[in-house]
Amino acid sequence: MDIEEKLELIKDFAEEIVTEAELIRLFETDDKLVAYDGFEPSGIAPIHFGLLRATNLRNMLKAGIKFKLYLADYFAFINNKLGGNLKNIQTAGKYFIEVWKACGIDTKKVEIVWASEIMDDLAYWDKVLRVAREISFSRTKKSLTIAGRKATDKLSTAQLFYPSMQVADIFHMKIDICQLGMDQRRANMLARDVAPKLKFKKPVAVHHHILLGLQGLQKKETKEETLMASKMSKSDPRTCIYMHDSLDELKQKLRKAYCPEGIVEGNPVLEYFKYIIFKNMKSLQIERPRKYGGDINFGSYTDLEKSYKEKKLHPLDLKMSCAVELDKLIKPVRAYFEKNKKARELYNTVRKYIITR
């Protein structure tokens, strides 16, 4: 596979690459690149964790990049997820691994790393402190959006370590490409700023889109606040579609989704087609009664969006088709958890936990 083909695989899902020129140089000079994505284990897996991340990962592996899936258990602990109960958080992490397997991720082809494992190394904490020395207190507080917090929130001292720890992760795991969501941009920019000062390799940042929750775009004063308020959150069932939802549950949730006729901006249902459904299929047929025009076919997301914008497709038809197509992608995951005793027990345990944030 040549460099242009590898680049296209990354650009297929990347909303931003910082920088594309640096990524090309990495492909030209290093055939053993390492990328990572990190997750706080807590709660039941949403579709962006299972379906969106799995698609991104497949592209990275096709490009010949070694991938590390990072289970940030101690980050969830200091961020008070699941009430700060570390044992429960680690159980949620084991459940996350089963979700990846159910989504078709071959865990033999990726390296699963737990934060609690690398934190046993004194060299890791040396990096944390060296990073922290280079970051002002003001910038640390502004960077807490990576943890889903705001500088004005009531914070523990432990939470203030979060940005420096996340940057140290990148250096400690010798990451070449940070492949995380746009909501993690501040941490990756910190790593790029600090790296030359500490004589570490500057990572390339590949940021993917953050899916809107069912409530749609919630405009706030800043772009960052809008992102935090609008994204699909596994801690809020009103905004979230989970990897275990049945077809009936999908239909019920999508019926209530923000989806005004002819409106594309801030429309979560269209987003699910763009970033998930059309990434897994080449064409789409939406079934409609003959009196409403009959079945309609689309060869691309662009065609679907154009038809919706021109009001040739009713919101309810779009919503119900979205439910059906998502169900096709989620169904193998439900089947995996039904057949696999270990996975089922983990899921049943985690779903009983009280979700905190």
**What CATH code is carried by the domain that includes residue 266?**
1.10.240.10
In this structure, which amino acid lies at residue 192? R
172-222 pLDDT, tens digit per residue, is 999 999 999 999 999 999 999 999 999 999 999 999 999 999 999 888 888
Of 167, 182, 208, which residue constitutes the final position of a domain?
208
- Per-residue pLDDT, 223: 84
Please indicate, yes or no, if residue 218 is contained in any of the structural domains.
no
Confidence of residue 9 (pLDDT cuts 50, 70, 90): very high
197 shares a domain with 261: no
Distance CA 97, CA 107 (A): 8
Are 235 and 185 in the same domain?
A: no
pLDDT-derived band at 235, boundaries 50, 70, 90 = confident
Residues 233 and 309 in one domain: yes
Average the pLDDT over 317-327 and give the result. 96
Determine, yes or no, domain membership for 140.
Answer: yes
> Mean of the pLDDT values across residues 37-57?
92
Q: How far apart are CA 285 and CA 293, in angstroms?
A: 13
Bridge pairing between strands 66-71 and 34-39: parallel
Let me know whether 82 and 23 are in one domain.
Answer: yes
Name the domain boundary from 208, 243, 259: 208
Whether residues 282 and 333 fall in one domain: yes
Give me the pLDDT at residue 144, please. Answer: 92
| Residues in contact with 235: Cβ distance below 8 Å, sequence separation at least 6, in sequence order | 42, 43, 355, 356, 357
> Is 172 part of a structural domain of the chain?
yes
Q: Quick check: 40 pLDDT over 80?
A: yes
Segments of the chain assigned E as strands: 14-18, 34-39, 66-71, 111-114, 177-181, 204-208, 284-286, 296-298
Banded pLDDT at 31 (limits 50, 70, 90)? confident
Same domain for 111 and 256? Answer: no
- Cβ burial of 278 (10 Å; 0-12, 13-18, 19+) is buried
How many domains does the structure of the chain reveal? 2
pTM higher than 0.95, yes or no?
no
Residue 234 confidence (pLDDT):
82
Q: What percent of the chain has pLDDT over 70?
A: 100
Q: Indicate the residue type of 14.
A: A
Query: Last residue of a domain, which of 164, 185, 208?
Result: 208
Is 214 contained in some domain? no
Q: Which CATH number do you get for residue 125?
A: 3.40.50.620
Query: In this model, does residue 357 exceed pLDDT 90?
Result: no
What is the average per-residue pLDDT within 276-292? 90
Task: Kindly state whether residues 119 and 197 are assigned to the same domain.
Answer: yes
| pLDDT > 80? residue 159 | yes
Looking at residues 51-77, what average pLDDT do you find?
93
Q: What is the pLDDT of residue 355?
A: 81
On the question of pLDDT at 103 being above 80, the answer is yes
The residue-averaged pLDDT of 6-15 equals 95
Residue 153's pLDDT is: 84
Q: Does residue 129 sit in the same domain as residue 17? A: yes
Q: Give a yes or no: residue 137 inside a domain.
A: yes
Domain presence at residue 269 = yes
Question: How sure is the predictor about 293, in pLDDT bands with cuts at 50, 70 and 90?
Answer: confident
Q: Which domain holds residue 7?
A: 3-208
Q: Is residue 284 over pLDDT 90? A: yes
Asked whether residue 140 falls in the same domain as residue 284, the answer is no
Any domain includes 82: yes
Q: 138 exposed, middle or buried (CB, 10 Å; 0-12, 13-18, 19+)?
A: exposed
Using pLDDT thresholds of 50, 70 and 90, give the confidence band for residue 88: very high
Asked, for residue 324, whether it belongs to a domain, the answer is: yes
Same domain, yes or no: 26 and 68: yes
Q: Across residues 147-151, what is the average pLDDT?
A: 85
Judge if 194 and 144 occupy the same domain: yes
84: confidence class by pLDDT, cuts 50, 70, 90 = very high
Is 80 found in the same domain as 14?
A: yes
Tell me what pLDDT residue 236 has: 82
pLDDT at position 178 is 97
Mean pLDDT score across all residues of the chain: 93
Which pLDDT value is given to residue 286? 92
Determine the pLDDT at residue 158.
Answer: 94
Minimal CA–CA distance to 86: which of 120, 48, 41? 41
